[in-house]
Structure 1
Amino acid sequence: MFAKGQTVIQYMEQLAPKHVAMPDDRIGLQLGTLQKEIKTVLVALDVNEEVVEEAIELGADLIIAHHAIIYRPLKQLQTDTPMGKVYEKLIKHDIAVYISHTNLDVTEGGMNDWMAEALGMENTLPIHDVHTEQLSKLVVFVPKSHHQEVLDAVLNAGAGWIGNYSHCSFNIEGFGTFIPREGTDPFIGKQGQMERVNEVRLETIVPLNIRNKVVQAMLKAHPYEEVAYDLYPMDLKGRSFGLGRVGKLSQPVTLAAMVDIVKEKLDVPHVRVVGDLNRIIKKAAVIGGSGGSFMNSVLFKGAEVLITGDVDYHTAQDALAAGLAIIDPGHNAEKIMKLKVTEWMESKLQENRYDTRVVASSINTEPFRFI
């Protein structure tokens, strides 16, 4: 059995939720339809003509990419332009294109965590916060006989996280009263008679983005015809999601040794370097893509080297003056996402017994050549 397009994207958005993306980022379905079976998914960093030809050869129904193919509004669609040819081939071969960009960058276990882990960084934190979860408190009254069932349902739906602690809840026993009126079908009691029931007041924390999911799970597990529950907005903020990662290295190395690590782990043949190659590096920062604009935040967080792409001349001069080393592996170092997303998607599809195939693109979309 093959997964539907919406199912595949549902798994992708478990990894990289759309709501954590930076404002106005071009993410989501950009071309085609998800209302079809997906036999093959191609995971790519960029979508150019070579990648589309690869997708056609593989028989791919969907491309999941990191970089948008439609970034600025289209005024016309001419098929005799370079990108027009790409759009034409995608449409003719019914290949949908879905983009996961800054949401994949900032999410926990996404792009910047993959890069940081590859480089030996530990106990990492975001460099620049992009999104902070809004929290609600869910309070529901449950008959004691069904308390554990309802508790499991809401916690398994994602409620109950406080920092790195999961399954957090508060439960206190009491009794509830009610009179089932005409037209009701009570789980406990009889119409017209006052009922007094041993109940548990269950309280837990619910992030705003999964509130509906948690409430639906609670209602499904709850035995009552009419469920008594409340949702309270909270001033307490939830988890923060941000660009980049900063953290200590597993062991101090020279800048020269760090260069070798970057080249090996991010699979890049050459890098640009700012700083003394003999300098000892204990704390590093990494930002996938173009992260030079976050130099001051990196300095404030105490990193000695910033690893990011597309660093311009003046940013390099400012970093040198401020004592911050830079290793620039180029924007294409983000290709680490191809295998990582493929592994994630394969595991989710296999877990749910789908036959949909996932393939990491073999096309090198690096536009620069080093000679």
Structure 2
Amino acid sequence: MTLDHVDTLECTLCGETYDPEQVVYTCPNHDGVAGILEVQYDYDVIVDRFDAELDGNIESQWKYRDFLPVDTDATPVTLDEGGTPLVDAPRLGDELGVDVRVKNDGVNPTGCFKDRATSVAVTKARYAGRDVVTCASTGNAAASLAGYAARGGLDCRIFVPAAAPEGKLVQPRVYGADVLAVEGSYDEAYDLSLEVTQEYGWYNRNAAINPFQIEGKRTVGHELAEQTRGEIPDWVVFSMGDGCTIAGCWKGLREFAELDFVDDTPKMLGVQPEGASAIHDAFHEHDDVDTVADTLADAVAVGRPRNTLKACRALEESGGTALTVSDEEILDAETLLGRTEGIYAEPAGAAPVAGIRKARERGIIEADESVVTVVTGSGLKDTAGAKRAVGPVTDITPSLDDVAAHYGTPAGEAGQDPRGGR
């Protein structure tokens, strides 16, 4: 067993350190889950082992295995997550008035960004001899954990708020997980999952408290650093829920810059719905932080984020900022992304596009700057939200007259047989 590239788990509040070989979730010196732990590495060991070419060829996130906090003799539980495309988005850029590329993590194996973290979690759980994995989720983490648990041969028991989208509750059941719909909010489901973890000893994947989850998420930062090596963007934009996704990306970007793999780092822009704005409010030092989430972007509908400190640190260290957008702006962004670039994002994945538009209006992002927006989930995760944006289908009879009523008489010779006859 070799985990010699990981030094310690360090409390972000008091600096107390813990053995990374242990299953430790948070620092016990603090009430609740306030004492979030940060994985600290021996980068000399990592650089000694890491010999991959940074050539843009990324088959999966396990290209960066030497950076991941798993034992050297552990067999990864993987579905080839990561290695997601970074695509130019000229038509979207024209609409927003800025150069844009899209990092599409909605094409991950279970349809969301969380597969990066889940692969690490299930790998560690199986290597530690755990038989059952669990988490609380608004839907995406539930589906992700269920899929990887099935891949790794582990039992999976998930706690979700009863109001989670039906599609997100079907997917984990297809993977064979037990899905327990809690009568209450995500935060109540989350608290229950922590009690269960203590009582039953199941391995908890919750990214907000499991210190190894953010380490899987940071591979998106490694990938972006590699994919933009010759053209580093001015901004990278994420939606924020618990805060660990944007924090993870920033850690990966910062690591590659500090190791001189790339020349610079972008600024981070964090986007939250107006109805779930706790990290934004903390970053801007607002006093009236609301703990009740009310937004259609269920994947980031978090009233009490556990990684606010890490998220705010990422925004501050990168020279970035945070802003909020309305649900209507999110829906507009979802259809804008779809009709300009053919990318179907769930509301939380489209929120960064709404954020870019608002940042342009406010002069936060300048016209001559470049932006990468990260789509964190497929639109197939939440078709009900998309229906609100696009409206109903158009009903017609099987008649050319009905088509003509919509589009007019076709140009050219009327009545010409499309097969070449008359």
Give TM-score, length-normalised by structure 2.
0.23
Whichever structure has more strand as a proportion of its residues is 1
The structure number with the bigger radius of gyration is 1
